Amino acid sequence: MLHQIKGLHHVTSIASDAAENNAFFTQVLGQRRVKKTVNFDAPDVYHLYYGDEVGSPGSVMTYFPFHNAVRGRRGTGEVGETVYSVPKGSLTFWADRLGAAAEGLEAVNHFGEERLRFQTSDGEGFALAEIADDNRHGWTGNGIADDHAIRGFHGATMRLQDTGAMTELLTFMGYEKQDTIGNVSRFAVADGTGANTIDLEKLPSAKHASQGTGSVHHIAFAVENRAAQLEVRAALLDTGYQVTPVIDRDYFWAIYFRTPGGILFEVATNEPGFDRDEDIAHLGEALKLPKQHEDQRSLIESHLQTLA
C-alpha cells in the first residue's frame, strides 16, 4: 500500500465558454483565479485555475474552455460530483448566492454531512458540504466573508458500473474504506490536503459517460515532491498500470494513468506552486505561456477571449 498520496491536488474539467466559466468561479463561488495560461496541446484554448489565495493543493479547480465542444453525457466511468468544503451554517448563504447562477439546487444529507448540490450551466455536478473541522483558510477576496468562504475540496464522487477494481486501486493508493450507504461507499486518506474523501457510486445499469463540456477531464492526487511521485509511478507500473513519463506542467510535475472503469487519474506534485512565475499578490492576472509557446504569444492572444 502506498503512503505518498495526500488527498486531492486538483480537478480539471471542460467548459464551453471561458468568460462565463471565469465569472462563475470568481464572482459566484468567490474563488481566486490563480493562473491564466493555455492548454499545452491546444494553445489557442485557455487553461484556467481557480482556488484559494495561493492555489493550495486540494483547492484548485481547473478548466479547458473549448468553445465548440459538444456537451458531455452523464454516466459511469467519470467523476460525477466535485465537492467543496464550507463552514458549518453557511449553506443558507450559499443557496441565496447561487440563486439563478446554478441549476438543480438540492439540499441533501450525505454520510452525515449537510450538502447543497448544484450544476453549472454546462451541467457539471458540484456540491458544497458543511465540514466543521476544516481549518484551511478560504479566499475572501471576491466579496465572501471568512465564515462562508470555500475552504477547498472535501472530495469527489466517482460513478462506476462496478466498484470492485476501483476499491482495490484506492486501497493500494492509501485510502481506507469508511462506510457504505446504499450504493455509495466512502474512502478517505489520512493526513492529506484536506480534500481527503472519495465516494464510489455503483450504477451497474447506467450507460457509460461521454466526455464533453460539463465533464471532468481528469482528477489529480497530491504528492509532496518529485521523489514521492517517482515512488508512486514505480509502484503503479509494478502493479500493471500503464503510466506516462513525468511531464512538466510548469506549476507541478504530473503523471497520468487510466483507471478501471475509464477515469483518468493524475498524480501531481505540490511543488513548485503557482507563485513560481508571479508574485502572490498578482496571481492569475497576466497570461502565462508554456515556454514552447512563448514565441507564438501574439497569435495566441488574438484567439483568446478577454477575461475580467
Q: Note whether 90 and 182 are within 8 A (CB).
A: no
Q: Per residue in 250-285, is it b (16+ CB within 10 Å) or e — as a string?
A: bbbbbbbbebbbebbbbbbbbeebbbeebeeeebbe
pLDDT digit string (tens) for 218-236? Answer: 999 999 999 999 999 999 9
Q: How confident is the model at residue 137 (pLDDT cuts 50, 70, 90)?
A: very high
Q: How confident is the model at residue 118 (pLDDT cuts 50, 70, 90)?
A: very high
Whole-angstrom distance, CA of residue 46 vs CA of residue 55:
17
pTM exceeding 0.95: yes
Provide mean pLDDT across the span 279-284.
98
pLDDT digit string (tens) for 4-28? Answer: 999 999 999 999 999 999 999 999 9
pLDDT at 75: 98
Q: Are strands 216-223 and 264-272 parallel, antiparallel or unpaired?
A: parallel
pLDDT digit string (tens) for 164-191? Answer: 999 999 999 999 999 999 999 999 999 9
pLDDT at 142: 83
- Residue 300 above 90 pLDDT? yes
Rounded to 5°, angle at Cα 185 from 11 and 177: 90
pLDDT at 73: 97
Provide mean pLDDT across the span 265-287.
98
Q: Note whether 59 and 153 are within 8 A (CB).
A: yes
- Residue 126 above 90 pLDDT? yes
Which burial class, exposed, middle or buried, applies to 153 when counting CB atoms under 10 A from its CB (0-12, 13-18, 19+)? buried
Rounded to 5°, angle at Cα 239 from 234 and 244: 50
Q: In what order do the strands lie in the sheet with 197-202?
A: 103-110, 113-119, 125-130, 78-86, 152-160, 197-202, 184-188, 176-181
DSSP class of residue 208 equals B
Q: How confident is the model at residue 141 (pLDDT cuts 50, 70, 90)?
A: confident
Q: How confident is the model at residue 68 (pLDDT cuts 50, 70, 90)?
A: confident
Amino acid at 291: K
Whole-angstrom distance, CA of residue 122 vs CA of residue 48:
16
